[in-house]
Amino acid sequence: MARGTERPLASPSSQNRERVLPVSPNIQIYSPQLTSVLSFTHRVTGVLLSLAAVGLVAWLIAGAVGPDAYAAVQGAISTWIGQIVLFVFTFAFFMHLCGGVRHLVWDTVHAFELRQVYLGGWLAVAASIVLTIITWVVAYS
């Protein structure tokens, strides 16, 4: 974050010769809009997916090691906290996927009008929720 710069003031008073000027607030007062909130969500889901990748590798290694290790990991996943974590990871996956599609479209210099940005943004949110629910319904059917 930008910090106040060391700047001597114009008036020659000896007291304020080395005054450090304040910096105006940014995230503390700026309104959360779909643009910035979805961008922040894209980054947060990316970090969550990095953690999920580690979990995925742990699960695969447990499967490769043997039936005892695999049963232990499956037991951890089937606890209620394991299920919540899995649900969060699924939602993060789909949010990041839909956000990623928006970014790929922007890279081709399309859909930059505000109407298209907002339509695409809400569509991405709705699609992530729907895809997460479908995945979980199919997984448990």
Partner 1 sequence: MIIESSEQVPRTRLFKRFPVPKNFGLAPQSRIQQGKRWPAPAGARRIKAFEVYRYDPETGENPRLDTFEVDLDQCGPMVLDALIWIKNNVDPTLAFRRSCREGICGSCAMNMDGTNWLACTRHISDLGDPGRIYPLASRTIIKDLVPDVTHLYAQYHMIEPWLKTKTTEPNVERRQSPEERHELNGYYECILCFCCTSACPSHWWNSDRFLGPAALLQAWRWITDSRDEATEERLDNLEDPFRLYRCHTILNCTRTCPKGLNPAKAIAEIKKRMFERRS
Interface with partner 1 by CB under 8 A: which residues? 1-5, 7, 9, 11, 15-16, 19-36, 39, 103, 106-109, 112-115, 117-119, 122
Separation of alpha carbons 90 and 111, rounded Å: 27
Nearer to partner 1 among residue 35 and residue 74 (C-beta): 35
Q: How far is the CB of 43 from partner 1 (least distance, A)?
A: 8
Q: How far is the CB of 125 from partner 1 (least distance, A)?
A: 11
Q: How far is the CB of 42 from partner 1 (least distance, A)?
A: 9
Do residues 64 and 106 lie in contact, with contact meaning Cβ atoms separated by under 8 Å? no
Nearer to partner 1 among residue 68 and residue 113 (C-beta): 113
Separation of alpha carbons 57 and 95, rounded Å: 21
The sign of the dihedral angle between the CA atoms of 108, 113, 116, 121 is positive
Separation of alpha carbons 103 and 109, rounded Å: 10
